[in-house]
Amino acid sequence: MYRLRFALFLLLLSSTIATAKPTGLNYLLDACQVLTSSGIVQGHVASWPENTSVFEFLGIPFAQPPLGQLRFAAPQAYQQDTSSVFVADKCILDITVGEYLTKFQTDSWIRRDCMQYTGSASQNVSAQVAAYGYGMGGGNATDPHSYSEDCLTVNVWAKPTGQKNKAVMVWIYGGAFSAGTSNAPFYNGALLAEDEDVIVNLGLLDQRLAVEWVRDNIAGFGGDASRITLFGESAGGSSVDYYSYAWTEDPIVTGFIAESGTAFILHATNESDYSGWYNISEALGCGGEEVGEQTIQCVRDVNATALMNAVGQQASGGISTTFGPVADGKVVFADVKNRSAAGDFIQRPLFVGNNDNELGLILALGDSLFGGGNPGNLSTPDLIKFGSAAEFVCPAALTAKDRAVNGVPTWRYRYMGVWNNTALVPGMGAYHSSEIPFVFGTNELRPNSTTDTPEEANLAKIMVHAWAEFAKDPQNGLNGLNWPQYNPNGTTLIRLGYNNQSEPNIGNGTDYDGLCSILGP
């Protein structure tokens, strides 16, 4: 499986604001420097929001570059003389949103993505679709991404004011385990750090090593290593859930937020199925099954661009490739459904949910985004309905039920907001990933975006606050907002953006789970 860049949104959260600078950013604060196991990292005042007091540290290496013998190998912790200084860009003071977008387009400090197959997206898309793609880190014709295998880095956003020992949020982005980037305006953690006084993180073994880096270094940024919440969306949400099964003996994290993704959403391939690998090794002239493990060294020696071209030739369509989670019995388990029912997971609080019309994204991007698979030859409305239920609704329902039945504090949400300035085409509803700008409060970073409605802006504030409150106190934070813990037999589903209302509305999960008895997770 290819590595995805992991960006640390070290959103340092605290419940009160103070004016004095604590010792959190404890190493030469005036020079934007913090001492870490990766050396002294030098950050800068965040580029956005305007007049922020947040510092950002971009591209800090947490693992050795996966080059040469480390390609297709377990990650190794980054080794650096702690007296050396890693410059995570220069200090930037006052900057407007427009200037921020320009800087985002032109500067190199946030544009180095991991090698990945990007598909062949159509250039004939609407301005809104293009803006959505850019916001999610897709780049554009005038702003192409650069790719490198040297990409195992973290981004940190932290505010030097406020409480000491702030809660920490670690973000894992999505991308079907094949693509994705932390270089996305919608994933900017500065507002969470500014308004909610938290520390946030972006970016299966690579992710674990990044979490260990956070545990070992977050105190230097003012964070509390005993309060780390792992959150992610789509494949990132699945990664969050996979983590909860893999590291039961040494959890590190204290809470989980899984948005539109669980361990059930993407079905792990069997450990004995090497066909995808051998198809690629043969395409690269390294032989196939007949030479077995010898293919590994050969592929390690192949030029990265040639490797990506070979991956693209084997792609199933859209962003999907033959690489993905493999049930190895150590990090990913084939019997995850049984483990879920038995409570064999990290029993820490969970906030899980999905969007109202996940596969409505097909209406804007085409079903090729998901590989064009439609074995039942369903109409588009039925494909959206059944696909959304099978891949998102039912897995979230089962995950929430099993956690609740096993006595784990659990909350389940359903995002339902439909807004004119976020709709990509008419009729697509609350589509896959449309909640992300509301979680991060980054809607204004959408290029050419119109002003949010009052209800939309207020909902974003509520969601930013709720996600942060969960991270500050996973056991009780959402109780303080009067959001009910999930009961599969009760009216406890938290509906966000219901009828475009800004205030949460409580419904019954069974109203949306009708297809689950047929489809299963």
What structural domains does the chain harbor?
A: 7-121+146-233 (3.40.50.1820), 270-323 (no CATH), 336-519 (no CATH)
State the pLDDT at residue 22: 35
* Catalytic residue IDs: 234
User: pTM for the whole thing?
Assistant: 0.83
Decide which of 316 and 200 is more confident.
316
CB 210 within 8 A of CB 203: yes
40 three-state secondary structure? strand
Task: Give the max Cα distance, the chain.
Answer: 67
**Residues 388-435: pLDDT tens digits?**
999 999 999 999 999 999 999 999 999 999 999 888 888 899 999 999
**Distant-in-sequence, close-in-space partners of 160: CB < 8 Å, separation ≥ 6:** 21, 22, 24, 25, 29, 53, 55, 222
Read off the pLDDT band of 278 (50, 70, 90): confident
The residues, ordered by sequence, that sit 6+ positions from 368 with a Cβ below 8 Å of its Cβ are 317, 318
Q: H/E/C letters for each residue in 357-411?
A: CHHHHHHHHCHHHHCCCCCCCCCHHHHHHHHHHHHHHHHHHHHHHHHHHCCCCEE
pLDDT in tens, 452-464: 999 999 999 999 9
What average pLDDT does the segment 232-246 reach?
Answer: 94
**Whether pLDDT at 252 is above 90:** yes
**Structure tokens belonging to residue 449:** 């975006």
Neighbours of 122 (CB within 10 A): 10
- Give per-residue pLDDT as tens, 172-202: 877 554 444 445 455 564 665 666 664 443 3
Q: How far apart are CA 475 and CA 492, in angstroms?
A: 17
Q: What's the average model confidence in pLDDT over 87-108?
A: 40
Using DSSP's 3-state secondary structure scheme, residue 204 falls into coil
Residue 111 is predicted with a pLDDT of 40
Which pLDDT does position 312 carry in this prediction? 75
Q: Report whether pLDDT(370) > 60.
A: no
Give the confidence band of 138 by pLDDT, cuts at 50, 70, 90.
very low
AA identity, residue 502: S
More confident residue, 235 or 270: 235
In angstroms, rounded to a whole number, what is the distance separating the alpha carbons of residues 361 and 293? 40
Whether the Cβ atoms of residue 97 and residue 445 lie closer than 8 Å to each other: yes
| pLDDT tens-place string over residues 334-366 | 899 999 999 999 999 999 999 999 999 888 877
In the chain, % of residues over pLDDT 70: 70
Q: Is the pLDDT of residue 96 over 70?
A: no
Say whether 155 sits in a helix, a strand or coil: strand
pLDDT value for 396: 98
Q: Specify the pairing of strand 153-158 against strand 112-113.
A: unpaired
Q: In the predicted model, is pLDDT for residue 100 greater than 70? A: no
Region 216-220 average pLDDT? 93
Q: pLDDT, tens digit, for every residue of 18-27?
A: 323 334 444 4
pLDDT at residue number 20: 31
pLDDT of 149 strictly over 70: yes
Q: What is the mean pLDDT of residues 294-309?
A: 89
Q: Between 171 and 16, name the one with better pLDDT.
A: 171
Least-confidence region, from 54-63, 195-204, 207-216, 363-372: 195-204
Predicted confidence (pLDDT) per residue in 466-484, tens digit: 999 999 999 999 999 999 9
